[in-house]
Amino acid sequence: MQVLAALCFLVVAHLPPLRGEVVESFHRGPHCLDFFYKGMVPKWNVPKRHTVCLCQRFNNRYHFATLYNTLHRIAVYSAYRFQTGGGGGREKYWYIEPQLVDRSWNKDMEVEEDLAINHMGVYFGQSQALNEDYINTTYDRGHLNPNGHHTGDSRNATFTLTNVVPQNRKLNNGSWSKYETDLQINLTRCSKAYVLVGAIPSNNNWIIKNNNPRVNIPDYIWNAYCCLDKKGWPIRSGGAIANNTDQTSVKSCTLSELKTLLKQYTKSKVLVLFRNKCGA
């Protein structure tokens, strides 16, 4: 993780813009560590090449953090604090990150068409997915950090293309949606909860546009959570993983079991997801 690009995101044009700062890592980003349990970024040997750290901010507040792979054009994972009293509802627009096109550009997330007004002729999709990549495909724009686990501005802030992956529609609207709803009910019993949710990329399965591989279609979607009591002590934890197909179920597991599966499927060393393994 070499660069922390702050992700900016507009919900509607009349709302205040998002802003962010480019720093070297989550540790140097403003409030980025707030979304990781006890400020610990997962100890996981994710290849540093093609990854950027995004600390995503809206309405002068940061809402979650994302480790993004600019080659696969999907997130490795998003980290967030669960918020009770969330709810559904969807935004009308999807947004892209100007600084993933040029680091000297403004820090406000913009709709692609609006960004093109000031940068005519520039291609925006070299390092990120665009809305057109998902059009006329059989895949949903599947949220990693789900909007239903947030409220207010945080819920709006999840509607960015750097927070979605190509997700099988039956999985997205079926067993994974049910898992997210069940987890929401489970986490409302926590005084505070920290969540990680990510995708394991495929070796060679892509959304293809104009004969070019554009967005990697992940093999698996996974989730991990750490639930705390009123004193900030961990009281339970767990995780889940699902194959990104239309005939799949969500496998619930312990953090230890999930770590083993992530290591197996990514062929990279996963040391720990939460500080002290979300233990006392």
DSSP state letters, 86-97: ------S--BB-
| Continuous H helices in the chain | 112-118, 131-134, 153-156, 169-173, 175-187, 255-266
Q: How far apart are CA 25 and CA 103, in angstroms?
A: 15
Residues 6+ apart with CB under 8 A from 260: none
CATH number reported for the structural domain that contains residue 87 in this entry: 3.40.570.10
* Cβ atoms of 175 and 248 closer than 8 Å: yes
Q: How far apart are CA 79 and CA 68, in angstroms?
A: 12
Q: How far apart are CA 273 and CA 94, in angstroms?
A: 29
- Each residue's pLDDT expressed in tens, for the chain with a length of 280 residues: 333 333 333 333 333 333 333 345 888 766 889 999 999 999 988 878 899 988 887 777 788 999 999 999 999 999 999 997 655 567 778 888 887 888 787 666 677 888 888 898 999 999 999 999 999 999 999 999 999 999 988 888 888 899 999 999 999 999 999 999 999 999 999 999 999 999 999 999 999 999 999 999 999 999 999 999 999 999 999 999 999 998 789 999 999 999 999 999 998 888 899 999 998 5
Q: What is the pLDDT of residue 170?
A: 96
Q: What is the pLDDT of residue 183?
A: 96
47: domain range? 4-278
Q: How far apart are CA 180 and CA 224, in angstroms?
A: 11
Tally of domains within the chain: 1
The gap from C-alpha 146 to its chain's centroid, in whole angstroms, comes to: 9
Q: What is the pLDDT of residue 9?
A: 33
